[in-house]
């Protein structure tokens, strides 16, 4: 096994298409006393001054990759390709991927950019913010377009302010930072009655413009998956009898897929940990969720977004979902969000021939996840009837 790590041997095996290699750098003390692997500090822990490490069990990696090697500088993976992949994918079937643009309604520029991508047929889902002043007008534009795309609610608890008073959660009329929301969720100290009421208000505002419930619900900064908030969301949707009719975003993914794609691995693992159990609970309540999730970015303008997107298409799930953040930069955006330049870069790539060529070469087509969800409605309805 050690011979696999020899540089010359790795190069020969990779060139012949027999193996793909990936390494994750780590500190000198990557092994914890409980046998897990420590990839370094993550988001703030429940204690204000603390941090939790991105932690993963070695056996999970071995089961996923087949060959995993541990050194004092990091973790190294080797996956052997099937004969089908070694033949260049000639036998690979066409796969459907859902590409969802987040943050519609954040600003006029962001919304206008997403509308451009929709008109060009470069998106199959759009997630909208309804708690801001741009939503009613931009919602009308979205409705007028009649686009072949799922339109969902980007449930928000961290940007701007609530649609009504939340004296405990947002006493000053502004939502807290995501770190505060995470701490409250982990400590089980969130005012869930207030949050449930805000969920209803944001859904009501969506329906007031679109004239129907959302095709799906996800969350700004993935708040929909946090403990406590997820249960409030399930209850709100169930009260509207949307089980099996509204799919939900599972922001986590399998560890081997996360490592295989590369990029901001640590961020993806953190969200996976915070959303642990979301998928199982959602399905138990009768909701359809995606299988496979990608799109994590560090929003670095110096990086090639096309290369990042190629990684998002790697290791897809059966109902693969990719999030993106295209748009135009305007003063409204600059005043609200630090992610600016990369939105223009993402939009430029989506509108370019390179995007279409990448999908074609990898045998992907864009599709609405609601179609897959519709195929699963029978299962969801059985789950509801069994309760």
For residue range 133-189, list pLDDT tens digits in order: 999 999 999 999 999 999 999 999 999 999 999 999 999 999 999 999 999 999 999
- Taking alpha carbons only, the member of 110, 114, 154 closest to residue 333 is 110
In degrees, rounded to 5, the angle at the alpha carbon of residue 144 between the alpha carbons of residues 207 and 212 is: 20
Residues 181-227: tens digit of each pLDDT: 999 999 999 999 999 999 999 999 999 999 999 999 999 999 999 99
Distance CA 181, CA 316 (A): 30
Distance CA 169, CA 193 (A): 10
Phi-psi region of 225 (alpha: psi -120 to 50; beta: other; left: phi over 0): alpha
Residues 6+ apart with CB under 8 A from 180: none
Give the pLDDT band of residue 93 (cuts 50, 70, 90): confident
Average pLDDT over residues 66-88: 53
Burial group, residue 308, by CB count within 10 angstroms (0-12, 13-18, 19+): buried
**Which residue has better confidence, 125 or 85?**
125
What is the mean pLDDT of the segment spanning 36-58?
41
Q: Check whether 303 has a pLDDT greater than 80.
A: yes
What confidence category does residue 13 fall into, taking pLDDT thresholds of 50, 70 and 90?
low
Reading the block at residue 199, the tokens are 């969920």
Other CB atoms closer than 10 Å to residue 86's CB: what's the count? 12
How far is the CA of 237 from the CAs of 199, 202, 234, 240, in angstroms? 9, 12, 5, 5
Q: Are 365 and 124 in contact, with CB atoms under 8 Å apart?
A: no
Q: What is the pLDDT of residue 15?
A: 56
For residue 371, the model assigns a pLDDT of 86
Q: Identify the residue with better confidence: 72 or 291.
A: 291
CB of 194 within 8 A of CB of 168?
yes
Each residue of 313-371: pLDDT tens digit? 999 999 999 999 999 999 999 999 999 999 999 999 999 999 999 999 999 999 999 98
- 17: left (phi > 0), else alpha (psi -120 to 50), else beta? left
Q: What residues are paired with 99 via a beta bridge?
A: 322
CB atoms within 10 A of CB 305: 22
pLDDT at 379: 35
pTM, 2 dp: 0.80
- C-beta of residue 121 within 8 angstroms of C-beta of residue 366: yes
């Amino acid at each position: 096994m050690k011979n696999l790590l020899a540089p010359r041997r790795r190069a020969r095996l990779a060139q012949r298409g027999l193996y793909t290699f990936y390494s994750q750098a780590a500190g000198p003390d990557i092994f914890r006393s409980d046998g897990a692997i420590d990839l370094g500090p993550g988001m703030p822990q429940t204690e204000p001054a603390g941090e939790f490490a991105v932690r993963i069990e070695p056996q999970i990696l071995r089961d996923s990759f087949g060959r995993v090697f541990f050194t004092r500088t990091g973790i190294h993976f080797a996956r052997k390709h099937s004969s089908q992949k070694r033949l260049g994918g000639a036998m690979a079937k066409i796969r459907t991927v859902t590409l969802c643009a987040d943050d519609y309604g954040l600003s006029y520029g962001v919304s206008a950019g997403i509308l451009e991508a929709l008109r060009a047929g470069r998106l199959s889902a759009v997630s909208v913010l309804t708690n801001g002043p741009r939503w009613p007008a931009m919602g009308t534009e979205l409705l007028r377009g009649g686009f072949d795309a799922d339109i969902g609610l980007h449930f928000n608890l961290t940007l701007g302010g609530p649609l009504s008073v939340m004296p405990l959660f947002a006493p000053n009329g502004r939502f807290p930072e995501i770190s505060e929301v995470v701490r409250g969720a982990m400590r089980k100290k969130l005012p869930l009655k207030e949050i449930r009421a805000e969920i209803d208000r944001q859904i009501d505002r969506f329906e007031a413009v679109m004239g129907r419930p959302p095709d799906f619900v996800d969350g700004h900064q993935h708040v929909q998956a946090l403990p406590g908030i997820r249960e409030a969301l399930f209850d709100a949707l169930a009260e509207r009898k949307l089980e099996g009719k509204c799919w939900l975003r599972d922001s986590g993914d399998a560890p081997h897929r996360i490592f295989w794609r590369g990029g901001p691995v640590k961020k993806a693992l953190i969200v996976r940990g915070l959303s642990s159990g979301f998928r199982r609970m959602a399905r138990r309540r009768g909701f359809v969720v995606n299988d496979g999730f990608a799109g994590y970015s560090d929003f670095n303008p110096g990086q090639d977004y096309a290369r990042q997107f190629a990684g998002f298409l790697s290791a897809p799930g059966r109902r693969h979902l990719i999030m993106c953040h295209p748009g135009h930069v305007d003063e409204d955006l600059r005043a609200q969000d630090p992610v600016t330049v990369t939105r223009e870069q993402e939009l430029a790539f989506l509108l370019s021939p390179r995007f279409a060529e990448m999908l074609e070469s990898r045998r992907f087509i864009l599709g609405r996840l609601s179609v897959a969800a519709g195929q699963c409605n029978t299962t969801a309805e059985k789950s509801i009837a069994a309760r």
